[in-house]
Structure 1
């Protein structure tokens, strides 16, 4: 399979950034894409809403569905999944993209922010998988793809921002567990992480990062596409890196993904 034509994707946090890029890449194949995110009204600080994202999916050749959904709320997730199934007849792919970030030390991390990260990142990924799995288990080539790093217990990644690292590794461990539980039942459960920092609005949370030294979200979209068109059977529990996925798919020149090809790239967090 080389196309996602006719497939239905449920993507969290897809109103902007990497989630939207993945949605648009699938849309170019003619996929159905449920945009599940909180951004229902324009925010002057953050471009994009579920409605503009769904319109962009339609314009790219897919079918978009705007769903206002806070993945911390079980009833909202269940309602969004039900609406997706009602609109498109099922769900083939779940992309756990939504994530909260706070790169501060323990004494500078309000518990409200700590709780938000745990609820959105690990718990949200688990909840969305739980809601989608009854439909994924009926799909012909089901995938769960979570944007999470390879598990890493090196203290250098924990000391500077324990709360965020715990939340992000939580997504990785949810991936491990779901892969072990459902991989044998034909669901491909894997994680994808960028080799370099990606130029998204999350950069505002990282002091001193220059967008010119980042890559565009399209590299993650192309890597996700390469993963999601693969046969699901026997392909589970992998912690994939965007660059490696694309190299395996035959990509040799990555300069087009750079915001500024003349600048050295910044490696992303959690990669040794």
Structure 2
């Protein structure tokens, strides 16, 4: 458990042992992979997700994820909540702070995806993406600021892409692009706003397609994931970012492969689902 908020909490720079992460989403996929990597260090993970009961199309709930975190060596606090709801987010921040003595890391993982072009996307889906991706990221980050300022190495990490203004990314799926770029603008703004106070604010995006339920549920998803990597590469990259000193690591739009190359990794074949490296599917926005 982390110490009280009366003084900054210290940790080895190479580990997340004893650190507290508050994550939105994370019942499955990339978020869960990040949580499990932190758990192997002995981290505390407060997981806020909507899935309290089994979903008919998706594996895992916040409670099954919490058990996996414990089995991996971490401490877990499962919280059923909606990142779109102000009271739910405030309660999650309060619960994490009360249970673990503070918050060292916020991971904005929750995200909705709909790649429909403008004529086809419903305004219900548009609102869902805007509320979860942009508003949810802003809200969770905002309400966690006071707790983060009490940490010796505070980080906000958002799973969003570089701000690539090449027109084709807006033209191909405008609603989704605006929602993801809104997350990235939150990174850009918060990094600048809190640079002097030492909160690291960064974004992380996969270099290639990642095998997730969200991708598999897209039209043709079961086929395209054969050219994907496992979520473990994003988890390893997130870990490498979150153990870096916050005052010297902020305002970046990282890719998973780029981060790991900085760490000295040159062989990525272990993350592949079987496709040759030159046959992997690049992720969007890059």
Question: Aligned with 1:11: secondary structure?
Answer: strand
Q: For residue 202 of structure 1, what is the aligned residue in structure 2? A: 214
> Gapped runs of 5+ residues in structure 2?
1-12
Distance in 1 between residues matched to 2:122 and 2:167, nearest whole Å: 21
**Corresponding residue of 1:22:** 34
User: 1:29: Cα distance to partner?
Assistant: 0.1
User: Does 2:142 correspond to 1:127?
Assistant: no
Which residue is equivalent to 1:265?
280
**TM-score calculated relative to the size of structure 2:** 0.93
Instruction: With the length of structure 1 as denominator, give the TM-score of the two structures.
Output: 0.98
Cα RMSD for the two superposed structures: 1.0
User: Shift of residue 260 of structure 1?
Assistant: 1.2
1:24 CA drift (Å): 0.2
Query: 4+ runs of 1 displaced by more than 3 Å?
Result: none
Q: State the distance in 2 between where 1:233 and 1:62 align.
A: 26
Number of the residue aligned with 1:98? 110
Mapping of 1:173-252 within 5 angstroms?
Answer: 173-209=185-221, 210-252=224-266
Alpha-carbon offset, residue 205 of structure 1: 4.8
User: Counterparts of 1:172 and 1:42 in 2: how far apart (Å)?
Assistant: 31
Distance in structure 2 (CA, Å) of the matches to 1:205 and 1:161: 17
Query: What's the counterpart of residue 10 of structure 2?
Result: none
- Per-residue deviation at 1:13? 0.9
Contact 2:83 2:89 in 1 (8 A): yes
- Find the aligned partners of 1:270 and 1:201 in 2 and give their Cα distance: 20
1: CA distance, partners of 2:180 / 2:225: 22
CA contact (8 A) 1:183 1:234 kept: no
Secondary structure in 2 aligned to 1:9?
A: strand
8 Å CA contact retained: 1:188, 1:233: yes
Alignment partner, residue 171 of structure 2 = 159
Contact 1:175 1:189 (8 Å CA) reproduced:
yes
Equivalent pair of 1:183/1:235 in contact (CA under 8 Å): no
